[in-house]
Amino acid sequence: MPRVSLKIPARPENVAVVRQALSGLADSMRLENGVLTNMKVAVTEACANVVVHAYEDDGDMELEILPRASELTVVVRDEGRGFRPRVSTGEDASWRLGMPLIASLTDGFEVAHGPEGHGTEVRMTFAVH
């Protein structure tokens, strides 16, 4: 199975595009519906975080899907200023809900920051049966 990668502007309307890509991949891999659902929710939260927090102005979000025999890793990457949750705003409330969603719907995830706070990478792994 080839790796899939997608780079699109980090804008609210494009998070649905990412979900479409995941659905297409799930079809071609014959993934269980439950796995696809978990991926859609977790990846949406990671992308939403890029859209809301990564850039002052315009920027891209990059999606990379790395299929392996028994698991699938989805990487959501940006080249922004790094994750800075803003306290006491509506957005922050959303991320407080988003983080537990990623944690509970993945079989492992990690967040890595680039040098000097440039770029963030959220790496999510899903077990595939």
Partner 1 sequence: MTLLKVSGEHDLYTAPDLRDRLKEGLSAGAVVVDLSGATFVDSSILGALLSARQRAAEDGNGFAVSLETGASRTVRQVFEITGLIPAMPVLPSVEEAMKAMNNEPATRHEAG
- Using CB under 8 A, list all residues that contact partner 1: 12-13, 15-16, 19, 37, 40-41, 44-45, 48, 51-52, 90-91, 93-95, 97-98, 100-101, 104-105
DSSP string, 9-46: E--GGGHHHHHHHHHHHHHHHT--HHHHHHHHHHHHHH
Taking the complex as a whole, the smallest distance from the CB of residue 20 to partner 1 amounts, in Å, to 10
- C-beta closer to partner 1: residue 1 or 27: 27
- C-beta closer to partner 1: residue 5 or 89: 89
Taking the complex as a whole, the smallest distance from the CB of residue 121 to partner 1 amounts, in Å, to 20
Taking the complex as a whole, the smallest distance from the CB of residue 14 to partner 1 amounts, in Å, to 8
- C-beta closer to partner 1: residue 94 or 125: 94
Taking the complex as a whole, the smallest distance from the CB of residue 100 to partner 1 amounts, in Å, to 6
